[in-house]
């Protein structure tokens, strides 16, 4: 997947790890999922982003939205990226970056079915203080760095509110 020239700069592994440490939540309720999802929709609309958004806690989908320009393929990407977060406990972009740093790709070296798993940016763990990863927030429809950046921007705003 190539990045557009206007896409955000790709974060380093250290920056990705720092984002995950910093964006840990004190709790994550149904109302929090709704508020975060609505915030993501607002940010996506401001940017004219044709994305689908998915928020889950455990096996339950708590929020889903598909904005104009998104397609059913975006929902398939959401599922594939979410599975990476659930399996590795960190963002789908960080997982892919770690494989690339080793001189390989997730698809070539993970031994996981690429039709079910995608280590592309856009899915982020919902991590609760003292508990750990309890869910995922995911976006699909932009280049992977931009998908990841949109989720991070929403979590940053959500945690500062």
Per-residue pLDDT tens digits for 143-161:
999 999 999 999 999 999 7
Kindly state whether residue 96 falls inside one of the protein's structural domains: yes
Please report whether residue 129 resides in a domain: yes
Distance (Å, rounded) from C-alpha 57 to C-alpha 13? Answer: 25
Would 56 be classed as within a structural domain? yes
| pTM assigned to the model | 0.93
Question: Is residue 107 situated within a structural domain?
Answer: yes
Q: Evaluate whether residue 122 is within a structural domain.
A: yes
Total structural domains in the chain? 1
pLDDT at 76: 98
With a cut of 80, say whether residue 7 has pLDDT above it: no
Q: What is the CATH number of the domain that holds 51?
A: 3.30.450.150
Q: Which domain holds residue 139?
A: 28-160
For 45-81, what is each residue's pLDDT tens digit?
999 999 999 999 999 999 999 999 999 999 999 999 9
Alpha helices (runs of H) in the chain, residue ranges in sequence order: 13-22, 30-47, 72-88, 92-101, 106-109, 144-160
User: What Å distances lie between residue 124 and 18, 40, 56, 102, CA to CA?
Assistant: 13, 13, 11, 21
């Amino acid at each position: 997947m190539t990045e557009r020239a206007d896409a955000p700069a790709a974060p380093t592994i250290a920056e990705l790890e720092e984002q995950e440490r910093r964006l840990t939540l004190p709790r994550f309720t149904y109302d929090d999922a709704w508020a975060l999802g609505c915030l993501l929709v607002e940010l996506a609309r401001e940017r004219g982003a044709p994305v689908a958004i998915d928020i889950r806690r455990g096996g339950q989908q708590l929020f889903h939205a598909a904005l104009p320009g998104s397609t059913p393929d975006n929902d398939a990407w959401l599922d594939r990226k979410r599975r990476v977060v659930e399996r590795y406990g960190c963002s789908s972009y960080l997982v892919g970056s770690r494989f690339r740093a080793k001189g390989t790709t997730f698809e070539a070296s993970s031994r996981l079915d690429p039709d079910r798993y995608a280590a592309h940016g856009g899915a982020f763990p919902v991590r609760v203080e003292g508990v750990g990863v309890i869910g995922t927030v995911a976006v699909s429809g932009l280049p992977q760095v931009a998908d990841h950046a949109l989720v991070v921007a929403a979590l940053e705003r959500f945690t500062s509110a």
